[in-house]
């Protein structure tokens, strides 16, 4: 995948600083250049660099004949620049240059690196240069670049899958990318709507449901952004709530809504409206505009006919367990599970007030943005209409819900 020029490109990266140092010196000085001792900070950085460079070289899963050149040039530059490089260090660096390093191992190595060390800030660009030296960048390499972005931003690992209707012989799993057929998805991620899978598209595990896959472009949709919000509202609605009032508890500004200065927007829905869905629907209507307008100081209020029957059943006969089983965000959060069961309880509580945060939603949206940055197919186009600041604002968003029965 990487042509010969890429191999020398890596060598050039490793030699860049050293070459500048040699310029302007006499022939005698160049024959016996000054070698500086390698500090612990520099040593840790070089080990991390070797791990990244080796992973970039091998990220497409193919061993290339020019990798020997890459390895020799990089190691030669280290030996010529530092005076105290021992065989143990060289052996460790060589082993990292010769393979793809798992994300967990990269993270462990990074933990030892002082990110203020000279040269650290250039690593992102260096790695991208290695991958992009070849004019053809394949999904396996994009997956590696995405993992690097997660690494540098301190985001937990996210698996990457490529769905193929027909997996060919050359569709080989790598350290950073797995190929899945529809049958694989059906067996490993049984809550994924298989009929909606797209051929050749990259997926990850849904951030709130490890039995379901979601395409990376889906992380940038308004339906995803409002999905947790919709589940909370629809849980209360199905339990027979008559009124739901929502305001910002704190957002990116760090300030909550002030009742005296906020605008009240009232939405009316009845139990005859369409059933709630996962993608930001309540009564078949998009919540997106209302959800985002909360950051502008508005108070949102939904009113329903409201009919509450005790015994964990709503007026249509659904139970708390039914509502939770259909949810993605609620069922694995103990506090929200307790809340939803309280909505359906025999205990005649007339009102609930609680605060929900959207940090997990925001982090997932950020992954979608990083996937777009790395050139994932389909995702880049989705980002054009997406405000890149939305994920940061979402991570700080906290909404206060007041539910009346």
Chain CA centroid to CA 337, Å? 25
The whole-number average pLDDT for the span 178-189 is 96
pLDDT band at residue 286 under the 50/70/90 scheme: low
Which residues, 6 or more positions from 218, have their beta carbon under 8 angstroms from its beta carbon? 224, 368
Predicted pLDDT of residue 145: 96
Q: φ and ψ at 362, to 5 degrees?
A: -65, -40
In this predicted model, what pLDDT tens digit does every residue of 328-352 receive, in sequence order? 999 888 889 988 888 888 765 788 8
Predicted pLDDT of residue 142: 94
Is 251 in contact with 398 (CB distance < 8 Å)? yes
Residue 320 exposure: Cα atoms within 13 Å on the Cβ side: 18
Predicted pLDDT of residue 139: 93
pLDDT band at residue 64 under the 50/70/90 scheme: low
pLDDT band at residue 133 under the 50/70/90 scheme: confident
State how far the Cα of 242 lies from the Cα of 308, in Å rounded to an integer. Answer: 9
pLDDT for 49 beyond 90: yes
Least confident of 115-124, 183-192, 320-329, 348-357: 348-357
pLDDT band at residue 212 under the 50/70/90 scheme: very high
Alpha-helical regions (H) of 258-383: 288-293, 320-326, 334-343, 359-373, 379-383
Chain CA centroid to CA 130, Å? 23
Predicted pLDDT of residue 293: 72
State how far the Cα of 370 lies from the Cα of 146, in Å rounded to an integer. Answer: 7
Predicted pLDDT of residue 19: 42
15 three-class SS? helix
pLDDT for 173 beyond 50: yes
Predicted pLDDT of residue 17: 35
Q: What is the dihedral of CA 40, 41, 43, 47, to 10 degrees?
A: 140
Least confident of 27-36, 40-49, 206-215: 27-36
CA 330 to each of CA 340, 362, 383, 400: distance values in angstroms, whole numbers, following the listed order: 8, 16, 28, 16
Q: Residue 160, by phi and psi: left (phi above 0), alpha (psi -120 to 50) or beta?
A: beta
Which one has a higher pLDDT value, 305 or 105? 105
pLDDT band at residue 276 under the 50/70/90 scheme: very low
pLDDT for 399 beyond 80: yes
pLDDT for 78 beyond 80: yes
Q: What is the pTM of this model?
A: 0.81
State how far the Cα of 230 lies from the Cα of 124, in Å rounded to an integer. Answer: 38
Which one has a higher pLDDT value, 308 or 229? 229
| Joined tokens for residue 340 | 């939803």
Q: Is 124 exposed, middle or buried (0-12, 13-18, 19+ CB in 10 A)?
A: middle
pLDDT band at residue 388 under the 50/70/90 scheme: low
CA 270 to each of CA 190, 242, 267, 275, 304: distance values in angstroms, whole numbers, following the listed order: 33, 9, 10, 10, 5
State how far the Cα of 162 lies from the Cα of 216, in Å rounded to an integer. Answer: 11
Predicted pLDDT of residue 268: 53
The DSSP call for residue 273 is: S
pLDDT band at residue 20 under the 50/70/90 scheme: very low
Q: Which helix (H) or strand (E) holds 41?
A: helix 40-58
Least confident of 6-10, 165-169, 377-381: 6-10
The DSSP call for residue 82 is: B
The whole-number average pLDDT for the span 388-395 is 83
pLDDT for 28 beyond 70: no
| Joined tokens for residue 18 | 């050293």
Predicted pLDDT of residue 387: 58
Which residues, 6 or more positions from 45, have their beta carbon under 8 angstroms from its beta carbon? 113, 114, 117, 119, 120
């Amino acid at each position: 995948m990487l042509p010969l020029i890429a191999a020398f490109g890596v060598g050039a990266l490793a030699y860049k600083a050293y070459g500048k140092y040699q310029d302007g010196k006499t022939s005698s000085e160049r024959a016996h250049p000054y070698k500086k001792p390698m500090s612990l900070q520099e040593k840790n950085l070089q080990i991390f660099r070797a791990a990244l460079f080796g992973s970039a070289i091998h990220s497409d899963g193919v061993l290339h004949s020019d990798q020997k050149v890459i390895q020799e040039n990089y190691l030669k530059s280290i030996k010529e620049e530092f005076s105290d490089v021992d065989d143990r260090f060289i052996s460790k660096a060589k082993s990292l240059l010769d393979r793809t390093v798992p994300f967990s191992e990269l993270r462990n190595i990074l933990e030892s690196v002082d990110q203020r060390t000279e040269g650290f800030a250039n690593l992102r660009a260096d790695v991208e240069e290695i991958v992009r030296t070849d004019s053809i960048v394949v999904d396996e390499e994009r997956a590696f670049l995405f993992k690097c972005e997660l690494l540098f931003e301190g985001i937990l690992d996210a698996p990457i899958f490529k769905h193929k209707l027909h997996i060919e012989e050359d569709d080989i799993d790598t350290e950073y990318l797995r190929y899945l057929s529809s049958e694989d998805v059906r067996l490993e991620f049984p809550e994924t709507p298989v009929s909606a899978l797209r051929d050749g598209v990259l997926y990850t595990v849904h951030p709130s449901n490890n039995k379901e896959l979601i395409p990376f472009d889906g992380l940038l949709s308004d339906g995803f952004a409002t999905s947790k919000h919709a589940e909370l509202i629809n849980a209360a609605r199905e339990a027979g709530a008559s009124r739901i009032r929502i305001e910002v508890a704190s957002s990116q500004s760090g300030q909550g809504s002030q009742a005296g200065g906020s605008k009240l927007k009232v939405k009316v829905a009845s139990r005859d409206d369409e059933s709630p869905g996962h993608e930001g629907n309540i009564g078949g209507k998009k919540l997106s505009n209302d959800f985002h307008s909360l950051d502008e100081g508005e108070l949102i209020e939904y009113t329903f006919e409201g009919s509450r029957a005790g015994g964990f059943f709503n007026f249509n006969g659904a139970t708390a367990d039914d509502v939770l089983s259909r949810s993605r965000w609620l069922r694995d959060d103990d506090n929200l599970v307790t809340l939803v069961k309280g909505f359906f309880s025999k205990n005649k509580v007339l009102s609930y007030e609680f605060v929900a945060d959207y940090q997990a939603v925001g982090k997932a949206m950020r992954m979608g943005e990083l996937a777009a940055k790395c050139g994932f197919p389909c995702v880049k186009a989705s980002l054009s209409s997406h405000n890149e600041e939305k994920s940061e604002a979402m991570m700080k968003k906290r909404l206060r819900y007041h539910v009346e029965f």
